[in-house]
């Protein structure tokens, strides 16, 4: 029997395809990319046409060997990774390995995993797309040139471990610029005046002041507003001009990648990375009982609004049958895709509208059901009739003033019976647009219930959420649909930003890095330049320009900037603050303990200080009055302890350093030696009361009050169970030899589980890992994150009162 080899990316796709293709196909999975540039060096020969040096990814040699063995036995080879640039690169690298077998190699593109689509793709295979592969290769090399040559500069100037990305850095610049706009914003006072009115018919309604003496007038202060209030108290309120009109509210287009990520964040609060992960599982296929492994949505990386005629026909039949002919437009609705959209892909839609979310809910997780419902409803809604609203706008006259009342009534729900699009930043006018007005006619007299003046202040632009940042990136042509999730995941994973109430806030480190990069690499950080690079990569894919030419044009200017930055880039950013000692300007520098202020006159002046920023972004120097003061004596050598400062603030260090390296926490109120807390916990050895004490390296522990007669001690437990499988221990607070606090299992050495960050008794909603951790930094609010490497879950951490925290209740009840 003829045997064909079909290679896909994931094992899940392989299982779905086996259902439709039968025994004549051997289906294997590459499990993502098989080759890439090396990790330990640049891997690009810039003197030889930017030739890349590809190596087999660690762990993929066995997979490649198995694919080559199967290819040697097969009659024909079909390569079917995802239908995008990354998928083309995977197919290309596998094809390079299989060429020696001398077999015919076909490229297969699956836009959806349904029986009809799969068989159609297999029956009409294509050739490998060299232009698409070279576009991916150009992007990969561009990112490598930027990352591997700028990052070492940041390591030497700021600190090791930092990174710079070609697109990631531009996204960070956008976040930082928005923060500076917020800092520079000057609120302006304005007033509103609302008339609460009643006609002969219910309901009562509101009208807002809009004109004075027939001219549009803004109320700027209280005196002006109160003057008009006083003037209108005895005036008659009469209906003037009334305008009634019908307005169509059109349905939104089907989902592209960016629109799906934005709406999933707004409606479901899914980060972009999570949205794409769930969408991937819906695309690759899920087990649906009698239906078997079935793909539920079309390919989820697309910027096109195109829909197949078959899908639209099925949707129109579904709408007629389930909603009625009134909801069906005369002709199928089409949407114009953005310029340079990849029209080979459809918009994101369900593979069949007959797979209703409620009917298959038992086979989906809660998150899969939520996202699938969103896609299913949005697709059907985009093919339904508009909603029809009756809008009324009435001018109300009162003396020399004019008020305006607006309202609307939905007379036909149209697509809104199924789907309502959400808006992140809703204006006051939008919030009031659905107000219901009573029947009003010209010259009708109205009764004044109340005049309500209110003071307001203009608001600064909001910080970006994931949804609004994706929208901003797309509007500026930064990145592609397939890159938004990774861009945002990288930003969230760095110390360059914190997430405050779901919004990106740059840290001091983020500001420092962006300031240095903008000065050293103006083109790389230029939004228009980055957008043009994206456009050039699209042109490579369409065959308009060669990938080598794109790289040559880029590197010509980048190389000059790189050479200049290596010579001139300083590890500091100048401020406008004068040095308290010598009056020269202070600069922001980075040290092993974080960012700090230092005198630009160093080494002649060695002044340093910690700093923070106020709500306007102004740098505020922290008090240094305690630094150098003596407080207590060293319990090791007996010399005085001196106040010093470090990454985590002030601490006490022995004045006998370096002979004595003893340190301990600093307390402004009293010497740490005197700090003891009595508890109600009984000593397990003698029955006495346990006391909270500190060791000489600062670790808190419980000790018996009857010391030295009773020397029983025990660590302070968090009451959080150890997450190691099979372990019955609890996590306790400990301190390392260098004085750093960590948390470890109390069953040591039987169980060696330990973490540096503070544990929280919660389970990761993305990967299921037990016990999350809190990361704290001076640069921003504490962050709750997953401790599993590779999991990007992270959100702001809300501090709980002791009585609200189950992990602390036991200690609290015992007096700790």
Active-site residue numbers? 299
* Whole-Å CA distances, 814 to 488, 573, 676, 681, 691: 44, 50, 15, 5, 11
**Residue 712 to residue 758: CA distance in whole angstroms:** 26
What is the three-class DSSP state of 568?
A: helix
> What does the DSSP assignment read for 707-734?
TTT---EEEPEEEEEP-STT---EEEEE
Contact 210, 216 (CB under 8 A): yes
Contact 596, 656 (CB under 8 A): no
Burial classification of residue 420, based on how many CB atoms lie within 10 Å of its CB (0-12 exposed, 13-18 middle, 19 or more buried)? middle
CA-wise closest residue to 600 among 585, 590, 583, 619: 585
What residues pair up with 638 in beta bridges, in sequence order? none
The pair phi, psi for residue 64, each rounded to 5°, is -60, -40
Strand order in the sheet with 4-8: 25-29, 4-8, 76-79, 105-107
**Residue 479 to residue 368: CA distance in whole angstroms:** 26
280 membership: H or E segment, kind and range: helix 272-284
Contact 197, 237 (CB under 8 A): yes
For residue 89, what are its two tokens?
């690169």
* Whole-Å CA distances, 289 to 18, 313, 369: 16, 27, 16
For residue 765, what are its two tokens?
């909603």
**Residue 299 to residue 284: CA distance in whole angstroms:** 9
Helices 366-381 and 257-268 cross at an angle (nearest 10°) of 120
For residue 545, what are its two tokens?
């320009």
First to last CA, the chain: 75
What count of other Cβ atoms lies within 10 Å of the Cβ of residue 466? Answer: 29
- Determine if the peptide bond prior to 171 is cis (ω within 30°): no
**Residue entry with tokens 């005629």:** 309
Sign of CA dihedral 216, 221, 224, 230: positive
Residues 6+ apart with CB under 8 A from 29: 7, 8, 9, 10, 11, 13, 14
Strands, E assignment, 615-737 = 619-621, 630-633, 640-646, 649-654, 663-665, 677-682, 689-694, 700-704, 713-715, 717-721, 730-735
Q: What's the chain's Rg over C-alpha atoms?
A: 33
Q: How far from chain centre, in Å, is Cα 294?
A: 30
Give the total residue count for the chain: 816
> What does the DSSP assignment read for 465-491?
-HHHHHHHHHHTT-S-TTTHHHHHHHH
Burial classification of residue 160, based on how many CB atoms lie within 10 Å of its CB (0-12 exposed, 13-18 middle, 19 or more buried)? exposed
**Residue 259 to residue 471: CA distance in whole angstroms:** 8
Helices 309-322 and 366-381 cross at an angle (nearest 10°) of 90
Tell how strand 189-198 and strand 205-212 pair up: antiparallel
Local structure of residue 354 (DSSP, 8 states):
T
């Amino acid at each position: 029997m003829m045997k064909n080899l079909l290679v896909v990316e994931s094992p899940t796709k392989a299982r779905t395809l086996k259902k439709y293709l039968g025994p004549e196909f051997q289906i294997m999975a590459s499990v993502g990319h098989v080759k890439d540039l090396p990790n330990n060096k640049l891997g690009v020969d810039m003197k030889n046409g930017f030739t890349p040096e590809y190596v087999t990814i660690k762990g993929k040699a066995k997979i490649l060997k198995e694919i080559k063995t199967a290819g040697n036995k097969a009659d024909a080879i079909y390569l079917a990774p995802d239908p995008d640039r990354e998928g083309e690169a995977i197919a290309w690298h596998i094809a390079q390995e299989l060429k020696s077998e001398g077999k015919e190699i076909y490229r297969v593109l699956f836009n959806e995993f349904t029986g009809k689509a799969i068989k159609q793709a297999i029956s009409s295979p294509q050739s490998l797309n060299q232009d698409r592969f070279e576009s991916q290769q150009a992007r990969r090399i561009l990112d490598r040139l930027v990352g591997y040559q700028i990052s070492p500069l940041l390591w030497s100037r700021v600190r090791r471990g930092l990174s710079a990305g070609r697109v990631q850095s531009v996204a960070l610049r956008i976040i930082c610029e928005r923060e500076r706009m917020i800092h520079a914003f000057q609120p302006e006072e304005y007033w509103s005046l609302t008339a609460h009115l009643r006609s002969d018919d219910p309901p009562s309604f509101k009208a807002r002041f809009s004109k004075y003496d027939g001219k549009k007038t803004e109320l700027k202060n209280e005196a002006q507003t109160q003057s008009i209030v006083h003037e209108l108290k005895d005036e008659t309120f009469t209906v003037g001009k009334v305008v009634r009109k019908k307005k169509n509210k059109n349905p939104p287009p089907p989902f592209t990648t960016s629109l799906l990520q934005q709406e999933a964040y707004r409606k479901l609060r899914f980060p972009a990375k999570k949205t794409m992960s769930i969408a991937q599982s819906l695309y690759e296929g899920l087990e649906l009982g009698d239906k078997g492994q079935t793909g539920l949505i079309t390919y989820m990386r697309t910027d096109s609004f195109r829909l197949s005629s078959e899908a639209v026909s099925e949707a129109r039949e579904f709408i007629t049958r389930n909603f009625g002919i009134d909801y069906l437009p005369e002709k199928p609705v089409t949407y114009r895709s953005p310029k340079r959209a990849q029209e080979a892909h459809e918009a994101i839609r369900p593979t069949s509208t007959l797979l209703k979310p409620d009917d298959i809910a038992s086979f989906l997780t809660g998150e899969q059901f939520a996202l699938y419902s969103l896609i299913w409803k949005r697709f059907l809604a985009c093919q339904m009739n508009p909603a029809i609203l009756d809008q009324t706008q009435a001018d109300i006259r009162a003396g020399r003033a004019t008020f305006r009342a607006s309202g609307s009534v939905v007379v036909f729900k149209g697509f809104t019976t199924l789907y309502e699009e959400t808006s992140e930043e809703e204006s006051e006018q939008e919030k009031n647009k659905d107000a219901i007005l009573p029947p009003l006619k010209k010259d009708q007299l109205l009764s004044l219930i109340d005049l309500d003046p209110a003071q307001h202040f203009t608001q600064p632009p909001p910080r970006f959420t994931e949804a609004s940042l994706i929208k901003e990136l797309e509007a500026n042509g930064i990145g592609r649909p397939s890159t938004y999730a990774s861009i945002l995941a990288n930003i969230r994973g760095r110390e360059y930003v914190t997430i405050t109430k779901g919004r990106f806030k740059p840290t001091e480190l983020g500001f420092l890095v962006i300031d240095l990069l903008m000065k050293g690499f103006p083109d790389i950080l230029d939004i228009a330049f980055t957008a043009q690079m994206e456009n050039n990569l699209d042109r490579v894919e369409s065959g308009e320009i060669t990938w080598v030419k794109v790289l040559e044009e880029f590197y010509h200017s980048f190389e000059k900037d790189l050479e200049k930055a290596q010579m001139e880039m300083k590890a500091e950013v100048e401020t406008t603050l004068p040095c308290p000692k010598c009056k020269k300007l202070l600069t922001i520098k980075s040290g092993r303990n974080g960012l700090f202020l230092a005198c630009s006159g160093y080494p002649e002046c060695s002044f340093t200080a910690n700093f923070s920023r106020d709500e306007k972004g102004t740098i505020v120097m922290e008090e240094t009055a305690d630094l150098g003061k003596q407080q207590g004596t060293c319990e090791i050598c007996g010399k005085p302890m001196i106040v010093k400062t470090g990454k985590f603030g002030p601490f006490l260090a022995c004045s006998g350093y370096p002979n004595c390296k003893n340190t301990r926490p600093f307390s402004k109120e009293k010497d740490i030696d005197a700090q003891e807390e009595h508890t109600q916990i009984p000593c397990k050895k003698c029955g006495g009361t346990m006391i909270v004490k500190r060791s000489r390296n600062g670790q808190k522990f419980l000790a018996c009050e009857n010391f030295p007669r009773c020397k029983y001690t025990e660590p302070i437990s968090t009451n959080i169970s150890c997450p190691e499988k099979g372990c019955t221990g609890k996590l306790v607070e400990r301190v390392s030899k260098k004085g750093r606090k960590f948390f470890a299992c109390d069953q040591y050495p039987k169980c060696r589980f330990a973490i540096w960050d503070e544990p929280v008794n919660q389970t990761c909603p993305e990967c299921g890992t037990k016990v999350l951790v809190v990361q704290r930094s001076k640069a921003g609010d504490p962050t709750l994150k997953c401790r599993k490497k590779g999991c990007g879950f992270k959100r702001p951490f809300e501090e709980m009162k002791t009585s609200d925290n189950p992990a602390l209740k036991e200690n609290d009840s015992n007096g700790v």
